Amino acid sequence: MKLRKKLWLYGGLIPAGIVAFDQLTKAWALGKFSVPHNICALNPYPGNHIEISSVFDLSLVCNQGVSFGLFREHADIGRYALTIFAIIMAIVLLFWLNKEKSKLISVSLGFIIGGAIGNAIDRALYGAVTDFLNFSDIGFKWVFNVADMSINIGVAGLLLSMFFQWRAEKAASATTDKNTES
């Protein structure tokens, strides 16, 4: 795939779609709670909850830290540091994407870039990331959003790619070992 087309698709179109879907779902959730989009800037602990089913609920959580609320001790410092970190990581991942030949890794990087940018927008504008998807009724205690899912899907894709590469290398090594024995 030509470089320009690859960067457009994996580094542009996929992340842009994820950012758009992430921001739309956050706006939808905030509308369901009838709160302003800047609720996290106004009240970092809104505590709103809507029971949807025995498996899934909507719960408004303003995450001032990183994934699963880690590193939220210094809200103002963290806000800017994490926003800058997300932007730098997106740029680094674009450089990686530029050199990548694997489609699975390229798609995975696109998902991570989109998720990082989606959460960086919230953090830059409101000081916290809006989380609202809640599966605590089935034991998953963390509340998350589409950007978080995207990052996790991207990381899973990278791990899957590493597994496929490991299997291919193991098979090639086994073939080489058989040929040297003959």
Strand partners, 51: 57
Catalytic residue among 22, 76, 131, 177: 131
- Provide CB contacts within 8 A for 14, sequence distance 6+: 107, 110, 111, 113, 114
Say whether 148 is catalytic: yes
**Looking at the domain assignment, is residue 43 inside a domain?**
yes
**Residue pLDDT, tens place only, 10-60:** 888 999 999 999 999 999 999 998 888 888 777 766 778 888 898 999 999
* Token duo for residue 39: 């609720």
Predicted structure pTM score: 0.83
DSSP three-state, residue 160: helix
**Looking at the domain assignment, is residue 69 inside a domain?**
yes
**Looking at the domain assignment, is residue 91 inside a domain?**
yes
Catalytic residue among 22, 76, 137, 148: 148
Reported confidence tier of residue 181, pLDDT bands at 50, 70, 90: low
So what's the pLDDT on residue 178?
Answer: 67
**Looking at the domain assignment, is residue 181 inside a domain?**
no
**Residue pLDDT, tens place only, 53-103:** 989 999 998 887 655 455 555 556 667 788 888 889 999 998 888 888 889
Residue range of the domain that includes 60? 3-176
Q: Number of folded domains in the chain?
A: 1
**Residue 118 scores a pLDDT above 90:** yes
**Residue 143 scores a pLDDT above 60:** yes
Say whether 76 is catalytic: no
Three-class DSSP labels, 78-125: HHHHHHHHHHHHHHHHHHHHHHCCCHHHHHHHHHHHHHHHHHHHHHHH
**Looking at the domain assignment, is residue 152 inside a domain?**
yes
**Residue 154 scores a pLDDT above 70:** yes
